[in-house]
Structure 1
Amino acid sequence: AGLLSAAGDEMVTLQEVEGTTITLHTGITGIQTDAHIVWFNGPEKADKKILISQMFKGETVTEISERFKERLQLDRSSGALTIRNISRNHSGVYLLHVITEDLSSRTFRVSVYAPVSTPIINLSGKRSLLSTESCSLFCSVENGEDVNLSWYRENERISITNNTDLSVPLNLPLQIQHDDNNTYICVSANPVSNKTTSLSISQLC
């Protein structure tokens, strides 16, 4: 029997940008050539077969589900699965079974995100009575999964907002003095990307 060396059975968590190619590395080496390899996938539970690879009459036969056609590539020596051009609807749990005399398994949770949009800084519609001394602004950005919007003064974050209602854009106000010489930056971010917009006080205020 071939020996398997593995990195452990804990779930591996991956966060990826949509449109990229990712590989689920298994930490397994030395898989026997006649092993039966199966990958499963599902949103919360990996309960649907998406790839089956086995030896049949001396030839390797690999079947891939329609949902993942042209996207998957298997490394039979390790069981590693490469997913090309991954999209947000490929987020979920992935489970590997390597079946020989024994069963080896690996579990992955993959979260796929769109890149965040660039935030926009605007002057608030109504000027206050103190507008000769201060300036009211707001930063806004299109909302998305796990998106945060923050104001930074120099390198220090001074405010942050998010909203689980993804249909509502994120807005974050800021009030500053006209003679404020600090550098202000608005940052939109999610787990895989961030975009920044710098505030030009002289242009907006």
Structure 2
Amino acid sequence: IHPALLHLLYCLLCSAGEEVVRLQELEGNTVTIHTGLTGVQSDAHILWFYRSENADIKIVISLIIRGEIITDYDSERFRDRLQLNRTSGSLTIRNISREDSGVYKLHIITGSISVWSFSVDVYAPVLKPVIRNQAEKRSVSLRESCSPLCSVENGKDVSLSWYEEKERISSISSSNSSERLYLPLNKTNPDCSTYTCVAANPVSTQTTQLDITNICCKSVSGTKGPRDLSKSLAAVLTPVGLIVALLILFLWIWKKKTKQQGKRCSWFYNISCLSLFYYHYLFFVCLLFCFIHSTIYCPVFCLQLVKTLS
């Protein structure tokens, strides 16, 4: 068939108002545009067109010339990624990309002319959403309510939603794909229900479950207020104060005992008196260790230790 005749036939079909079949595909997949036909006449001429920038590009032409099948594919835009099934007229596109989105038209010419139109939308896979606490960068002096915020990189037809158990409680989308999507949970101090943030487009879904302990409690406990600081200091200073008080008490008792025995000890010059103090102090420290760790048999060990060293 002369190219001018094919063009004329195509123009006549443009005004036929054929029904458009819509397809949504994931980028990188191998996609087959099915016609639904079970058998095309063996002598039929098959043409596939792709609409780009308001112009139709012929991407496949399969003709019968003198009984021989001659099939030619577009080698520029699709680069050997096309495969025609002459039995059904279906077209397979390998490694489809977002740039391949558009309208595809199939023309089958036999004794009559049949036209099919397919609108193909190709999407990139949606990214996994991220959850953080909105209050984590604030100066926290008192315990604040937890305010989880979910976000995801935006894209074509991307939506972001919060689910409580299996019920969707909020959702957002934006036609401006250059802006990141943000969606707060809008729950004051979330309870023990299961909250899930879901990012989705027509061909893919990614979910992130809210970890209350990690997102909320960690953020609140990460910055301590005056009350928390006082508790921390008390926990450290109490055992230190107890040890110092017991040490002073021990020194007072030891000094009183040595005076009653008529001994005037000089720590630096009387070796026997210094040794006596050392063994008493060692026994005291050992007993203090027993008291802290609540060890029953530890006092016996302390006596044996002092006896061995002396």
Q: What is the TM-score when the length of structure 2 is the normalising length?
A: 0.60
Single out whichever of 51-60 and 70-79 deviates more from structure 2.
Answer: 51-60
Where does residue 159 of structure 2 map in the other structure? Answer: 148
Greater helix share, 1 or 2? 2
Which of 28, 45, 50 is equivalent to 1:36? Answer: 45
Which of 123, 127, 150 is equivalent to 1:117? Answer: 127
Separation in structure 2 between the aligned mates of residue 180 and residue 88 of structure 1, nearest angstrom: 42
SS of residue in 2 equivalent to 1:176: coil
> Residue 129 and residue 140 in structure 1: after superposition, are their counterparts in 2 closer, same or farther (change >3 A)?
same
TM-superposed CA distance for 1:78, in Å, is: 1.5
1:108 aligns with 2:108: no
Q: How large is the RMSD of aligned CA atoms in angstroms?
A: 2.1
Query: Larger relative contact order (C-alpha < 8 A, sep ≥ 6)?
Result: 1
1:189 aligns with 2:200: yes
Single out whichever of 166-175 and 28-37 deviates more from structure 2.
Answer: 28-37
Contact kept? 1:43, 1:91, Cα under 8 Å = no
Contact kept? 2:146, 2:190, Cα under 8 Å = no
Structure 1 residues 121-147: Cα deviation after superposition (integer angstroms, max 9, x where no partner):
011145598973620121110100000
Contact kept? 2:158, 2:201, Cα under 8 Å = yes
Letter in 1 for 2:168: R
% identical equivalent positions: 56
SS of residue in 2 equivalent to 1:31: coil
5 Å matches for 1:40-189?
Answer: 40-43=49-52, 47-65=56-74, 66-125=76-135, 126-127=137-138, 132=143, 134-178=145-189, 180-189=191-200
Separation in structure 2 between the aligned mates of residue 34 and residue 69 of structure 1, nearest angstrom: 27
Q: What is the TM-score when the length of structure 1 is the normalising length?
A: 0.88
SS of residue in 1 equivalent to 2:77: helix
SS of residue in 2 equivalent to 1:202: helix
TM-superposed CA distance for 1:45, in Å, is: 5.5
TM-superposed CA distance for 1:101, in Å, is: 1.6
Larger Rg: 2
Structure 1 residues 21-71: Cα deviation after superposition (integer angstroms, max 9, x where no partner):
111111223322221110001147672111101122332111111212211
Contact kept? 2:106, 2:116, Cα under 8 Å = yes
Which of 35, 38, 43 is equivalent to 1:26? Answer: 35
